[in-house]
Amino acid sequence: MSKAAVSNQPKTINKFWRFNPANAATNTPAELLLYGDISSFSWWGDEVTPKKFNEELAALGDVSEITVRINSGGGDVFAATAIFTRLKDHSATITVIIDGWAASAASIIAMAGDVIKIPAAGCLMIHDPALTLWGRFEADDFVKFKNELEVVKNCIVNAYAMKTGKPKEELAALMAAETWLTGEEAVEAGFCDEVLFADSEAVAVVADVSRYKNPPINFFRQPEAPPAKGNTASNSTNKPNKEEGVKNRMEIKTVEELRAAYPALAAEIESTAAAAERKRIQAIENIALGGYEDLVNKAKFETPLAANDLAVQILAEQKRLGGEHLKNTAKDVEESGVNDVNAASHTGGPEDKENVFDAAIDSVLPAADKGGRS
């Protein structure tokens, strides 16, 4: 295929959103769906993606209301901030509905809502921003990264503070702790305005949480098992009472039990975990340096580490080895005795009884020849 033919092909845009126009017939407002990761790969330095988003937003026309539905674990903080800004700047009333969860960068977009609704079974999570790094870096680079992350965090805190009215110091502490909030807790904390389906039992969102450091312990909560068909032991309405419901609740405590009860879910979890592990190993391979095989192998298999954590270990080891080299060099010099060697004086000291040159001549000439010296 020629270069001209290639250039004429339509450019593929990897969107993480979908706009649905308003429907006057059903009185349905315009809708923006944000499901899945927020631009995991195509926002930074890419004018096409933000441009396309703005075009689609403008194409909705002069609408009076936009419903934003979110079910996302987050992603690119700059993409999320751009969406937040565009929605806040829009003349329409923005209603945000967190269908499942709004975690990390997705929670920033949620703050754009004039009204934010979350079901009792929903979840909102806030945490500190993080970097994923590949390549070789010096110590000064990590200081720079730290400063950049602090700036990004302050920007996110501002978005949360605008909605909640909480002090920025308090919000910063909640982010540092990686705070997970149920629907009711999110409303109580001021991040959301209304709990949907308040009578529903809170259930966890099924998703990959391997990237987070503090996911809820009860992330997988199972619904009550339905009564067996043809069961005549229950009351006349064939509905289990509260005690029977507790007995019928399925308690999964092992991986084997999860596989047996929910094979598809278990397979999905294992596949996601395997993909994450392959990505971690590849990132380590990309930064591995010769001479540090022990650290690399340990980070891969014995005490699993992320690539950026391994990079810090390698820097520390380089510093340690450099210090040992200087110490060993000083020790070798000391043991060689070179510091004890003194240069001989060509005249001798004042305590010498004769000139050192005369002593040298006396050592090589016979005593009979000494008389002829002047």
Q: In whole angstroms, how far apart are CA 72 and each of 33, 110, 114, 223, 296?
A: 10, 10, 19, 22, 33
- Given this model, what pLDDT does residue 173 score? 95
Rounded CA-CA distance 51/259 in Å is 44
- Given this model, what pLDDT does residue 245 score? 38
* 255 has pLDDT over 90: no
pTM, whole model, 2 decimals?
A: 0.55
Lowest-confidence range among 99-113, 183-197, 268-282?
268-282
69-101 b/e with 16+ CB inside 10 Å = b? Answer: bbbbbbbbbbbbbbbbebbeeeebebbbbbbbb
- Given this model, what pLDDT does residue 226 score? 47
Please provide residue 171's backbone torsions phi and psi, each rounded to the nearest 5 degrees.
-65, -40
CB atoms within 10 A of CB 55: 10
Place 152 in a pLDDT band, splitting at 50, 70 and 90.
Answer: very high
Rounded CA-CA distance 233/247 in Å is 14
Beta bridge partners of 23: 28
The answer to whether 103 and 130 have CB atoms below 8 angstroms apart is: no
Rounded CA-CA distance 114/102 in Å is 16
Considering the chain, what percentage of its residues have pLDDT values greater than 90?
36
- Given this model, what pLDDT does residue 243 score? 43
More confident: 281 or 369: 281
Region 260-275: mean pLDDT is: 74
More confident: 51 or 215: 51
Task: Identify the three-state secondary structure at position 249.
Answer: strand
188-238 confidence digits (pLDDT tens): 999 999 999 876 554 455 555 656 666 665 543 444 444 444 444 433 344
CB atoms within 10 A of CB 252: 15
User: Could you give the domains of the chain?
Assistant: 11-221 (3.90.226.10), 253-333 (no CATH)
* 80 has pLDDT over 90: yes
The answer to whether 68 and 29 have CB atoms below 8 angstroms apart is: no
- Given this model, what pLDDT does residue 211 score? 63
Task: Identify the three-state secondary structure at position 24.
Answer: coil
293-349 confidence digits (pLDDT tens): 888 888 888 888 888 888 888 888 888 877 776 777 767 667 766 566 554 544 555
Instruction: Dig out the tokens for 176 from the structure.
Output: 């540092």
Helices then strands, counting H and E runs in the chain, come out as 13, 8
Specify the DSSP class assigned to residue 202. P
- Given this model, what pLDDT does residue 333 score? 64
Instruction: Dig out the tokens for 330 from the structure.
Output: 């000083």
Residue of 146, 172, 138 whose CA lies nearest to 314: 138
Please provide residue 353's backbone torsions phi and psi, each rounded to the nearest 5 degrees.
-85, -20
DSSP 185-201: HHHHTTS-SEEESTTSP
92-106 confidence digits (pLDDT tens): 999 999 999 999 999
Average pLDDT across the chain, whole number: 77
More confident: 256 or 165: 165
* 45 has pLDDT over 80: no
Q: How many residues does the chain have?
A: 374
CB atoms within 10 A of CB 180: 21
Lookup result for tokens 């990264």: 145
